[in-house]
Amino acid sequence: MSATSLTSVSFNTSSWDLKRREGGKPYVRCGSPASSEKTVRVGVLGASGYTGSEVLRLLANHPRFGVALLTADRKAGQPIASVFPHLATEKLPDLIAIKDANFSDVDAVFCCLPHGTTQEIIKGLPKHLKIVDLSADFRLRDISEYEEWYGQPHRAPELQKEAIYGLTEVLREEIRNARLVANPGCYPTSIQIPLVPLIKAKLIEIKNIIIDAKSGVSGAGRSAKENLLYTEVAEGINSYGVTRHRHVPETEQGLSDAASSKVTISFTPHLMPMIRGMQSTIYVEMSPGVTTEDLYQQLKRSYENEEFAILLGNGVVPRTHSVRGTNYCLINVFPDRIPGRAIIISVIDNLVKGASGQALQNLNLMMGFPENLGLHYQSLFP
Amino acid sequence: MSATSLTSVSFNTSSWDLKRREGGKPYVRCGSPASSEKTVRVGVLGASGYTGSEVLRLLANHPRFGVALLTADRKAGQPIASVFPHLATEKLPDLIAIKDANFSDVDAVFCCLPHGTTQEIIKGLPKHLKIVDLSADFRLRDISEYEEWYGQPHRAPELQKEAIYGLTEVLREEIRNARLVANPGCYPTSIQIPLVPLIKAKLIEIKNIIIDAKSGVSGAGRSAKENLLYTEVAEGINSYGVTRHRHVPETEQGLSDAASSKVTISFTPHLMPMIRGMQSTIYVEMSPGVTTEDLYQQLKRSYENEEFAILLGNGVVPRTHSVRGTNYCLINVFPDRIPGRAIIISVIDNLVKGASGQALQNLNLMMGFPENLGLHYQSLFP
Amino acid sequence: MSATSLTSVSFNTSSWDLKRREGGKPYVRCGSPASSEKTVRVGVLGASGYTGSEVLRLLANHPRFGVALLTADRKAGQPIASVFPHLATEKLPDLIAIKDANFSDVDAVFCCLPHGTTQEIIKGLPKHLKIVDLSADFRLRDISEYEEWYGQPHRAPELQKEAIYGLTEVLREEIRNARLVANPGCYPTSIQIPLVPLIKAKLIEIKNIIIDAKSGVSGAGRSAKENLLYTEVAEGINSYGVTRHRHVPETEQGLSDAASSKVTISFTPHLMPMIRGMQSTIYVEMSPGVTTEDLYQQLKRSYENEEFAILLGNGVVPRTHSVRGTNYCLINVFPDRIPGRAIIISVIDNLVKGASGQALQNLNLMMGFPENLGLHYQSLFP
Amino acid sequence: MSATSLTSVSFNTSSWDLKRREGGKPYVRCGSPASSEKTVRVGVLGASGYTGSEVLRLLANHPRFGVALLTADRKAGQPIASVFPHLATEKLPDLIAIKDANFSDVDAVFCCLPHGTTQEIIKGLPKHLKIVDLSADFRLRDISEYEEWYGQPHRAPELQKEAIYGLTEVLREEIRNARLVANPGCYPTSIQIPLVPLIKAKLIEIKNIIIDAKSGVSGAGRSAKENLLYTEVAEGINSYGVTRHRHVPETEQGLSDAASSKVTISFTPHLMPMIRGMQSTIYVEMSPGVTTEDLYQQLKRSYENEEFAILLGNGVVPRTHSVRGTNYCLINVFPDRIPGRAIIISVIDNLVKGASGQALQNLNLMMGFPENLGLHYQSLFP
């Protein structure tokens, strides 16, 4: 059965899922739908990093996506539990090298590989696969910009033309029909969701957009670097990549599209002593005569039917605590002390709406499912 | 429709749940079953504390339990989102005072109130309600012991006789038929799960059981106390209630039952700079001739068919990171350097298996559902 | 001997300090100068809060200031170690009620009381006392502004006229001759140190100064509030008091003085999961023709002989980790992506340069000592 | 002038220290004694790790020790501030390779190198140097035990014979006359300080000593390892090296010496989400007829004149928060619930009393100074 034919969905979970742990007796498994219903066979390429494991955490409760393939070249041959002990309770395939993967049994893949190598690998994948790429490799339409910011020429320019930028709330229809989705970066997601509608409606000036962003540490991935050690991160804060962060061109591309003219932003990311979570505090100048109430009403109109982009009630401050482990982006608008200016706050979980959650949201669309399927999580608070 | 008649379950979620946010258009909601299937109407008494909100987080994905009632006397009249902003995305009833609650529309309650007052309130509840009490009020069979440790006479001794102690893995059958379940404390859960089978099998000596336990801060609840401030907890550790913690009699009661003779434990809890998570490191003397392999095999036999009590592979150290947000209890056994001794390590999330998760596991049983219904969560790691 | 006569300093610490612990034999104490040299008798009013205890931590190594008096009304009669166990190793007077204090044996006081009550208390203090007030009560010259932001009329307007604002690097000479110093708030300190010289030199525009500030939790003091619990703060971030924080008028007062015209700032503070530390990320527009190098050179000129205001080398990002427990303010300037704009970063320890350290720096000056006396601490890193 | 002739100390700090920052004017520096008094020239070998930087932090306030030499082979040629930005405010020599060091200008060294290589390096050092070695290389008298636990033969067995084990409170007189001191490990320090006097006095049984130890992350050093990342450590706890930690033989050596017979301990270390701090919770059986009051009185007698080993008042629980950044070891004794047993709690800062602080305490003694010179720090709390 072709996964793409699954657009008309009928559930039947009256039969409990029977599961065996090694050497054990069968027992009923429920709460998640029966595995017989998991008709879309999903692969995770690069399953030994945080975005890979986060995809697996989310898929554990997905009624239709089953995990058929996990790759991790340096950990090939190992069970996933040896890399991520918290996944020991889940029944998952062992890790294999990508060169040994048989994609004929796979309908779709999440590509959780580092930028640079990703291009080559996706170029080599069979064409029947739906692909959500979580790397930065297909996010910039202009491949000369890619070369400028990533220090190497783009190796798959033809694929770049095909790739759809996966900011779901903004490009939903295009994503539905895409084969290759370039999943947005965490910072660009948190910034574009509130700004795109305001820029499109010409409610804010596109010059002097100042973004002070704060990120949890998991955004830097699982690589062992001195500056990411507990001892170096806990109990302190620091800015990094001041004005030179690689998420700048991606963000400017999206905002420029919305403005139909070139937008240059001020963007300063800060590394925070928290595992997950991201806040963008955005300082903008409103267009002449516009009030913060106008901004609020515009965002309300834009997002009132959205599941995951949520405008909070008047005056309520979005908190990263409210989105931990969830796919929500909470936003709000505040008047500034300086007349004519506004402050916009946006929070996400960098690993979910900022990475794996939005990726799943996109794959849901690409496979013809409701986009919120399997994404109904409340924040792990406290 | 009586909730207890729901033992034969048939799912039908082919029709998507239509949901409206205020002022918005309808949109499809899925991932969780349709609300029309949520036929058990559940109340949460004391919904403004952490165990209450944790019940709500877990119920959000439960296919059969719908939230019908939330009480919080001091917050009566407020929406739950004003107390717990992270629940703003969920459709939940407003908080009311318990005296205003109409229990005729409710099938079961989670009682998340402080000890002491709980007894009176449960005494006044209608008899058709299934009750899982998360306080300490009905955990001690011997009411004189209650008086000794809690400093006041027990006010509902007749109910105490009816109450079943809710350590699911040990007392499953009794719980199935219970009307009032006394949900275990977090420390006692983490200790009894590994020790009860070993004591029953007479593999360890019941004297000199030494338990060094470490808990996250959420175990102390949400009350504003100086010693729980971020500034007082972060970046340090301290023992508290050395030998005098109230979870001692509960633990000794369970271990004594298993041993059929009085067990006195050494128990030292430590407050740790983490929100959730609990580890009990247990130092025991083995019975003559017994090896750690014998202990391991016994635990394997006892728990190989359990969903939530998991014996890890040989030599794998249980980590609280692996159970964050989940209902699992991970355990393992290690040989000690001192011959004849063993070290047992057990970890849980104090708010889930140590409180609200086990409560839900118990209510599942009491309502005739598979105990794991709605409890399929992977650890939020990292 | 009058403390104020101590302007000519001669040290003699060749004789070791003999100290007895109760019941013990005498032993030599050194590393800190002999207590016979501690000729200035200092009182700490409100010693049970964090700024009070921080004064005591710093004084432990001060060669000239001895602690003669500690007050804490609600803890009167207790040893300080019962309130702050970490001070148990220090020989300090017990806490008394302020009404029982005998100020005839005291030369100077640090006033660490809450705003509002402070005014009355300082009004009642004998006139021979040098006073550094760490509350907000005497920081605003315009008492109508005090009333507006603090919600009550100022109760000591005559004292207000006498009070000198204690931003040491800016008002050193005035502080030297002051009797009452209003010690600056933490945010205003971190903002004014970099901005005042730039504004005075007319290198930056005074409109649209945008300050995104991040603070550790200790800035909120030791009061038991729900929002300061470990469980509510750890692993998250949130803005608070958006545009309405009480440090706004104090900061605007200082910047307006520098500009000789009214400055209105955009100021958004964020609560961070760390105990100490503060960063202000400041976004400014440069005056026409000015470059970031001009800003850098101006700050270099202004601060090259300062002990505690340190301009870092070109491109080095100030980190709160570098100032933990110290009196340093580290600053630097960066070019923004948007032409004509600059980003200024400033970090302090909110309890030291942002409170008790600057207070000690000021009292040193007021007593005729070098301002760095007893303040030579390196950051507790890691 | 030979450093070892400095036993008769006379201070003269009436002249302020003049210091220049590059390009700046001279300014007075005080609070620390004049650099002209810093007559002992100290080298730090391996200054790019945490124990090295901690030595530098402590020396900043030492009246007699000046830093003459810093080595770090892989960072040779760099200023220390490029490795540890928080030391930028201190005037320190640049890092050089150890092979380029000129030891003729050095009186004493702290050796902060990894175990294994340390032996060779110390073997090659000139004999006039006093050496405090912070590695594990000279802690075990029995070199076959070294080989067993460190997996390689000892390469300097003749030096091993000369080395004195630097547990100051226990071996003070031997340390005074030593040339080479093997500074104790952090765990062994926290365990031996309370246990040695009790074992010597035969108040506790030497069998079944159970030690549950908890350590901050800095004990693992600054090496970039996945398991030490913020994301892997924060918000969780885990045991490691169960029964196989390398601090076991060192601890057993010290306890066996005290007992004059072989002691085998149960030792389980736990990695905690905090930067610094260590607690050993020790479970012991008392000798027949002995009470916890006897233990308390013995510790009181043993340590009442000690500066850094502090027995707290009856019932007061030692907290790591009270020793952050300090050289104190706080201890106390508690009755266990199980008759005949006691619980002993001991806390230190693993980087200070557990490493660099005790090293400085030892070098003070070796150079004829009071051992507390330059070590008078109060805990950085909060």
Q: Can you give the pLDDT of all 382 residues of chain A as single tens digits?
A: 333 333 222 222 222 232 333 333 333 333 344 556 788 999 999 999 999 999 999 999 899 999 999 999 999 999 999 999 999 999 999 999 999 999 999 999 999 999 999 999 999 999 999 999 999 999 999 999 999 999 999 999 999 999 999 999 999 999 999 999 999 999 999 999 999 999 999 999 999 999 999 999 999 999 999 999 999 999 999 999 887 899 999 999 999 999 999 999 999 999 999 999 999 999 999 999 999 999 999 999 999 999 999 999 999 999 999 999 999 999 999 999 999 999 999 999 999 999 999 999 999 999 999 999 999 999 999 9
**Yes or no, beta carbons of C231 and A382 under 8 Å apart:** yes
Residue A111's contacts (CB-CB under 8 Å, 6 or more residues apart) are A45, A46, A118, A121, A122, A131, A132, A133, A134, A135
Residue B183's alpha-carbon distances to B168, B278, D180, D238, in angstroms, are 9, 17, 59, 26
Alpha carbon distance A326, A322 (integer Å): 8
C340 three-state secondary structure: coil
Integer-rounded Cα radius of gyration of chain B: 21
A240·C317 Cβ contact <8 A: yes
Q: Do B382 and A87 touch (CB under 8 A)?
A: no
Is there a cis peptide before residue C153, judged by omega within 30 degrees of 0? Answer: no
* Residue D371 in tokens: 């051992």
Are A19 and B362 contacting, i.e. CB atoms less than 8 angstroms apart?
A: no
Contact indicator for D158, D351 with CB cutoff of 8 Å: no
List the subunits that have 3+ CB pairs under 8 angstroms with D. A, B, C
Please tell me the predicted confidence (pLDDT) of residue D242. Answer: 85
CA distance C174 to B381: 55
Contact B199, B206 (CB under 8 A): yes
Residues within 8 A of D (CB atoms), C 172-231 only: 218, 222
B381 touches chain A (CB under 8 A): yes
Nearest CA in chain A to C271: A319
Chains touching C (3+ CB pairs < 8 Å) = A, B, D
Cβ–Cβ gap C334/A242 under 8 Å: yes
Q: Is A36 an 8 Å CB contact of chain B? A: no
> Under a CB-based contact definition with an 8 Å cutoff, are residues B10 and B36 in contact?
no
Rg (CA), chain A: 21
Residues 6+ apart with CB under 8 A from A40: A3, A6, A64, A65, A66, A107, A108, A367
Beta bridge partners of D165: D182
Please check whether residue B319 is in contact with residue B349, taking contact to mean a CB–CB distance below 8 angstroms. no
If you average pLDDT over every residue of chain B, what do you get? 91
D247 touches D267 (CB < 8 A): yes
Tell me which residue in B10, B218, B310 faces A14 most closely, judged by beta carbons.
Answer: B10
pLDDT at B340 over 60: yes
User: pLDDT band at C37, cuts 50/70/90?
Assistant: confident
Note which residues in 67-96 of chain B have CB less than 8 A from chain A: 84-90
- Closest by Cα among D307, D311, D306 to D198: D311
Which residues of chain B have a CB within 8 Å of the CB of C349? none
Q: Is A373 on the interface with B (CB under 8 A)?
A: yes
Q: Is A32 on the interface with C (CB under 8 A)?
A: no
Question: Residue C210 is nearest to which of A210, A275, A382, comparing CB atoms?
Answer: A210
Alpha-carbon distance of A156 to C289, in angstroms, equals 43
H helical segments located in chain A: 50-59, 80-83, 117-123, 143-150, 157-162, 168-176, 186-200, 230-233, 247-259, 292-303, 357-366
Give the chain D residue nearest A272 (alpha carbons): D230
Among the partner residues B232, B275, B334, nearest to D382 by beta-carbon distance: B232
Q: With an 8 Å Cβ cutoff, are A265 and C338 in contact?
A: yes
- Give the gap in angstroms from C-alpha D81 to the nearest C-alpha of chain A: 15
Q: Catalogue the active-site residues of A.
A: 186
Q: Which residue has the tokens 């229990």?
A: B103
DSSP state of A93: P
Q: Chain A within 8 Å of D382 (Cβ-Cβ)?
A: no
Cβ distance B320 to D237 under 8 Å?
yes
Residues 6 or more apart whose Cβ sits within 8 Å of residue B210: B265, B266, B282, B283, B284, D210, D283
Tell whether C16 lies on the interface with D, counting CB pairs under 8 A. Answer: yes
Left if phi > 0, otherwise alpha if psi is -120 to 50, otherwise beta: which for D128?
Answer: alpha
* Complex-level ipTM: 0.91
Alpha helix segments (H runs only) across chain C = 50-59, 80-83, 117-123, 143-150, 157-162, 168-176, 186-200, 230-233, 247-259, 292-303, 357-366
Hey, is the C-beta of D130 within 8 angstroms of any chain C C-beta?
no
Is B334 close to D242, i.e. CB distance below 8 A? Answer: yes
**pLDDT of B38:** 79
What radius of gyration do chain C's Cα atoms show? 21
Query: Helix, strand or coil for residue A125?
Result: coil
State how far residue D112 is from chain C, nearest Cα, in angstroms.
Answer: 16
- pLDDT over 60 (residue D10): no
Three-state secondary structure call for residue A38: coil
- The CA-atom distances, in angstroms, between B114 and each of A273, B104, B121, B348, C36 are 33, 24, 11, 22, 55
Give D184's contacts (C-beta < 8 A, 6+ positions apart).
Answer: D139, D165, D166, D167, D192, D250, D254, D354, D358
**pLDDT per position as a tens digit, B140-149:** 999 999 999 9
The C-alpha atoms of residue B115 and residue B102 are separated, in whole angstroms, by 23
Query: Which among C222, C228, C275 is the nearest to B235, CB-wise?
Result: C275
pLDDT bin (cut points 50, 70, 90) of residue D374 is: very high
Alpha-carbon Rg of chain D, whole angstroms?
21
pLDDT over 90 (residue D13) = no
CA pseudo-torsion sign C160, C163, C168, C174? positive
Neighbours of C138 (CB within 10 A): 29
The catalytic residue among D30, D111, D112, D186 is D186
Q: What number of other Cβ atoms are within 10 A of residue B264's Cβ? A: 17
Q: What is the 3-state secondary structure (H, E, C) of B105-151?
A: HCCEEEECCCCCHHHHHHHCCCCCCEEEECCCCCCCCCHHHHHHHHC
User: What is the layout of strands, in order, in the sheet containing A95-96?
Assistant: A95-96, A65-71, A40-45, A108-111, A130-133, A180-182, A164-165
Whose structure tokens read 């982006």?
A329
Residue pair D154/D123 in contact (Cβ under 8 Å)? The answer is no
**At B266, which helix (H) or strand (E)?**
strand B265-271
Q: What is the residue whose two structure tokens read 């009270």?
A: D322
**D214/B214 CB distance under 8 A:** yes
C39-to-C7, C36, C248, C356, C360 alpha-carbon distances in Å: 12, 7, 38, 20, 15
Confidence of residue D35 (pLDDT cuts 50, 70, 90): low
- Domains in chain D, CATH or no CATH each: 3-184+354-366 (3.40.50.720), 187-350 (3.30.360.10)
Residue B112 falls in the annotated catalytic set: no
Which one of A232, A275, A324 has the shortest CB-CB distance to C382? A232
* Gap from C57 CA to chain D (nearest CA, Å): 6
d(CA B242, CA B239): 7
Q: Of the listed B111, B112, B186, B329, which one is catalytic?
A: B186
Is there a contact between B273 and C217 if contact means CB atoms under 8 Å apart? Answer: no
Which positions in chain D touch A230 (Cβ < 8 Å)?
A: 217, 228-230, 232-234, 273, 275
pLDDT, greater one: B261 or C2? B261
Using a pLDDT cut of 90, give the percent of chain C over it.
88
Task: Classify burial at D334, counting beta carbons within 10 Å of its beta carbon; exposed 0-12, middle 13-18, buried 19 or more.
Answer: buried
- The pLDDT tens digits of the residues spanning D234-270 come to 999 999 988 789 999 999 999 999 999 999 999 999 9
Distance CA D284, CA D338 (A): 11
Max CA pair span of chain D: 72
Q: A132 with A362: CB under 8 angstroms?
A: yes
**Chain B 258-287, CB below 8 Å of chain C: which residues?**
273-275
Section C328-353 average pLDDT? 98
C-beta atoms of B236 and D338 within 8 A = no
> Mean pLDDT in chain D?
91
C380:D376 CB<8 A: no
Facing residue for A267 by CB, picked from C234, C272, C337: C337
Confidence class for position C244, pLDDT limits 50, 70, 90: confident
Q: What residues contact D55, with CB distance under 8 A and at least 6 apart? A: D44, D47, D110, D112, D356, D359, D360
Question: Which two three-digit tokens encode residue A325?
Answer: 């482990």
Cβ–Cβ contact D236 with A under 8 A: no
Burial of B233 (0-12, 13-18, 19+ CB in 10 A): buried
User: Of A191, A61, C226, which is closest to residue B85 (Cα–Cα)?
Assistant: C226
Task: Report the gap between the CA of D41 and the closest CA in chain A (Å).
Answer: 30
Q: How far is CA C304 from the centre of its chain?
A: 21
- Partners of residue A63 in chain B, C-beta under 8 Å: 31
3-state helix, strand and coil shares in percent for chain A, rounded to the nearest 5: 35, 20, 45
The pairing of strands D309-311 and D329-335 is parallel
Instruction: Give C268-323 pLDDT, tens digit per residue.
Output: 999 999 999 999 999 999 999 999 999 999 999 999 999 999 999 999 999 999 99
For C367-377, what is each residue's pLDDT tens digit? 999 999 999 99
Question: Is B294 strand, coil or helix?
Answer: helix
